[in-house]
Chain A
Amino acid sequence: MSAFAAPGFLLSAMLSLGPVTPQEMHFDAPLPLRSGASLPAYRLVYETYGRLNAARNNAVLVCHALNASHHVAGLDGNGQAGWWDNLVGPGKPLDTDRFFVIGVNNPGSCFGSTGPMHLNPATGQPWGADFPVVTVEDWVDAQALLLDRLGITQLAAVLGGSLGGMQALSWSLRHPQRLRHCIAVATAPSLSAQNIAFNEVARRAIVTDPDFHGGHFYAHGVVPARGLRVARMIGHITYLSDDSMEAKFGRQMREAELAYSTQAIEFQIESYLRHQGDKFAGYFDANTYLLITRALDYFDPARAHGGSLARAFAAAQAKFLLVSFTTDWRFAPARSREIVKALVDNQHDVSYAEIDAPHGHDAFLLEDPRYHEVMRAYFANIAREIR
């Protein structure tokens, strides 16, 4: 890269990928699932950024979390920036001038890959609640099949945050030789009882919505929007820290005078949560929400090893970077340290950054300079390693 001095606005334009186009891959062979069921012929939607080098060793897979998609970076058809655009792009910590970055929408999701709103070939009706239960491991296997098709034998890295971090960890266990580095941010080796409890509240909100119709609401021309709104509201609370919510909203009121109403919006935080809920209910699929929260609940690589996370990671071969955020109470640093301990017990290579950021779980999507410096430094090493 040249040391070209550009004014700030030009620089930020240079650092963007610009418009990006999603691609599709169709699979005719069924995907065997952990449950014993299988997903018949399916489609994966994905995006790529940067160029695959001649050695085909500079690919980085980015795994998405609950409500995200294959659109990791750049601008989609509606001019929307990808969910990790601040991290991925030319000159950014995950530099698309050096790496070939792949974002894949997981099956069961609602952003293009085969999901519950698509037709079940056995019935000719939308899958709805009959869509097979998918797990983190199933997603990882589907992603691996996509990489086979793209001719990528080994990834330079798998990167993910939150539920995406679980996929990155799962990659290191299921396909140990297919990744050099595993980068898991703001994640956990399994959900705690409290985590599962929040998921269950969200699921109950959805399935008890009269518009849910046992998961077959498509036929009725409705969506369980009320349930989805509540699910999103409760989820959103867990993504933020108490302090960041306090700093952003405090006890700010909508009006100067109290309305003395139990139904009206009085506080700005109520308004914010309702807005988030409305927005979410407008684009997210209720069955997908159920599936993805279940995948979160089920993730527990230690389970197959008598509860020992250390034994679970014995087979891993990748080098690891773990990052957590001090105010993340959804996936607290202590959960990342459990993973670090399991890796240390196996004498695996691991670095761990515990970023003192105020934003709670959401910090993994934000542009904290200390966090991004760690990511930038780590990816710079990978780039050197594969050169």
Chain B
Amino acid sequence: MDARTGLDQIAALVPTGSRVLDLGCGSGALLAHLREARGCRGFGIEIDDALVAQCIRRDVKVLQLNLEDGLSLFDDDSFDVVLQLDTLQNLRHTAQLLRETARVGHQAIVSFPNFAHWPHRLSVLRGRMPVSKALPYQWFDTPNIRVGTFADFEVLAQQCGLRVIDAFGLHEGRRVDRWPNLLASTAVFRFERA
């Protein structure tokens, strides 16, 4: 599987037989799993050459596109579920893509590393940027151009006109419902257009 955490927790949120769009689908492992375990179909979008080839090898439908260019390829509500897992932190036009995500899907699921996870807070208190399983890079070589917290996303979701249906944390593959902003390394939001 991809270096994504709690994928099965997220897969469980995708209704059986859904039409799915996976933004930043990596090697297509999740889409292949959703197809085989839940009868879903749809597309992945990926920019990396090697990952695109891996998707094709898995017979996962993949479109090699840059998410920064938006989702103009897709009409409103053309998918049941749009996934944006562990992708948001690499994108420049965060708010725009969130609106696009909500536009093309009836529902969306977004996950990203929660910067407010307590070991990260401790690290910053000690005066150093955190390096962890969820944020495995040094500050000077990280591909993450957006670092945010569970609580930050709640604010952004409101600003982008999104209605949050469900929000929880993930840590070590387990769901965290209590104080996710403090106790979860990954934040997960399920939302739709308000």
- Could you list which residues of chain A lie within 8 angstroms of chain B, going by C-beta atoms? 321, 337, 340-341, 344-345, 347, 349-356, 370, 373-374, 377-378, 380-381
Instruction: Judge if B59 is at the interface, Cβ distance under 8 Å.
Output: yes
Using Cβ atoms and an 8 Å threshold, which residues of chain A touch B62?
Answer: 351-352
Instruction: Judge if B73 is at the interface, Cβ distance under 8 Å.
Output: yes
- Asked if B57 and A380 sit within 8 Å, CB to CB, the answer is yes
Instruction: List residues 12-57 of chain B with CB under 8 A from any CB of chain A.
Output: 19, 43, 49-50, 52-57
Instruction: Judge if B61 is at the interface, Cβ distance under 8 Å.
Output: yes
- Asked if A340 and B53 sit within 8 Å, CB to CB, the answer is no
Complex Cα spacing A122 to B64, Å:
52
Instruction: Judge if B63 is at the interface, Cβ distance under 8 Å.
Output: yes
Q: Report the minimal beta-carbon distance from B57 to chain A, rounded to whole angstroms.
A: 4
Contact sample, A vs B, 21 pairs, CB 8 Å cutoff: A337-B65, A340-B63, A344-B73, A344-B78, A349-B61, A350-B63, A352-B64, A352-B65, A353-B56, A354-B64, A354-B65, A355-B49, A370-B49, A370-B53, A374-B52, A377-B56, A377-B57, A378-B56, A381-B56, A381-B57, A381-B59
Complex Cα spacing A374 to B62, Å:
11
Using Cβ atoms and an 8 Å threshold, which residues of chain A touch B64?
Answer: 352-354
Complex Cα spacing A350 to B56, Å:
10
Name the CB-closest residue of A to B74.
Answer: A344
Using Cβ atoms and an 8 Å threshold, which residues of chain A touch B43?
Answer: 344, 350
Instruction: Judge if B166 is at the interface, Cβ distance under 8 Å.
Output: no
Instruction: List residues 81-100 of chain B with CB under 8 A from any CB of chain A.
Output: none
- Could you list which residues of chain B lie within 8 angstroms of chain A, going by C-beta atoms? 19, 43, 49-50, 52-57, 59, 61-65, 73-75, 78
Contacts A340-B63, A352-B64 known; A374 to B73 CB distance under 8 Å? no
Using Cβ atoms and an 8 Å threshold, which residues of chain B touch A381?
Answer: 56-57, 59
Contacts A340-B73, A341-B73, A344-B73 known; A374 to B53 CB distance under 8 Å? yes
Most buried by B among A347, A373, A380: A373
Name the CB-closest residue of B to A345.
Answer: B75
Using Cβ atoms and an 8 Å threshold, which residues of chain B touch A378?
Answer: 56
10 closest Cβ pairs, A-B complex: A377-B57, A377-B56, A370-B49, A354-B64, A373-B53, A352-B63, A381-B59, A353-B64, A341-B73, A351-B62
Most buried by A among B56, B61, B65, B75: B56
Complex Cα spacing A378 to B43, Å:
15
Name the CB-closest residue of A to B60.
Answer: A351
Name the CB-closest residue of B to A373.
Answer: B53
Using Cβ atoms and an 8 Å threshold, which residues of chain B touch A354?
Answer: 64-65
Name the CB-closest residue of A to B56.
Answer: A377
Q: Apart from A344-B43, A356-B49, A370-B53, list 20 A-B contacts with CB within 8 A.
A: A321-B56, A337-B73, A340-B63, A341-B73, A347-B19, A350-B61, A351-B61, A351-B62, A352-B63, A353-B52, A354-B64, A354-B65, A370-B49, A373-B50, A374-B52, A374-B56, A377-B56, A378-B56, A380-B57, A381-B56
Q: Report the minimal beta-carbon distance from A314 to chain B, rounded to whole angstroms.
A: 15
